[in-house]
Amino acid sequence: MTDRIEFWFEFASAYSYIAVEEIEAKAAKAGVAVVWRPFLLGPIFARQGWTGSPFNIYPAKGAYMWRDMERLCAQKGLAWRKPSQFPRNGLLAARVATVLAESDAIGSFVKGVYRANFVEDRDISDPKVIGDVLRGVGLAPEETLIRATGDDIKARLRERTDEALARGVFGAPSFFVRGELFWGGDRLDQAVALANS
């Protein structure tokens, strides 16, 4: 059995951008397979009584997050631009990622969406933007977007979000390895090490 790390991400999440940029190389180096798990934080935050991002609800936490992101990206050599709108609605992107979850294109698509949001400051809720990302990774936008809005995909994404909640996920990025939950990009190395142990 291949060692694996489940990667649970939400397209609106700034910290998930860093994890997305790092996980494939780190997992490959350790001989660990990445299982991509797009989900929605909205319903999970709603259960905690939050009607939006905690980074907007708690301004001190938000101000810190933006500075922290800037420093982390500089340190890691990642491109970064603070988006002019936050959080952006990642529902359509999450549905497309649900379509693509088992395909070879998933990593490139996910990275493309995060870069559109957090490097190019584009609105990832716009089907045209998602279409551009799909074209960029060699996929036909029309066909994929139609599949992404099918009832089966909508239901699968809802199930994934319910599963995240049931398994104790409360933020993104999150990782599961051998039943252990790890929260935040700061735990990626620890999670990969466990998968590889």
Which residue ranges make up the site for its own copies (CB under 8 A)?
48, 58, 60-61, 63-64, 67-68, 71, 75, 168-171, 180-184, 186-187, 190
Judged by beta carbon, residue 17 or residue 55, the one nearer its own copies is: 55
CA-nearest of 113, 14, 117 to 61 is 14
Nearer to its own copies, 76 or 135 (CB): 76
CA dist., res. 192 & res. 29, Å (int): 10
180 token code pair: 């252990």
Number of Cα atoms under 13 Å in the Cβ half of residue 81: 10
Record the tokens describing residue 48, joined without a space.
């905690």
**In the complex, least distance from residue 142 CB atom to its own copies, rounded to whole angstroms:** 39
Place of tokens 């139609």: 146
CB of 18 to its own copies, least distance (A): 13
The counts of H helices and E strands in the chain are 10, 4
Start-to-end C-alpha separation, the chain: 13
Residues 6+ apart with CB under 8 A from 79: 73, 115, 119
- Least gap, CB of 95 to its own copies (angstroms): 25
Query: Least distance (Å) from its own copies to the CB of residue 14?
Result: 15
Nearer to its own copies, 76 or 81 (CB): 76
Could you tell me the smallest distance in angstroms from the CB atom of residue 101 to its own copies? 24
Comparing CB distances to its own copies, the nearer of 70 and 152 is 70
- 116 or 177: CB nearest its own copies: 177
d(CA 51, CA 66): 20
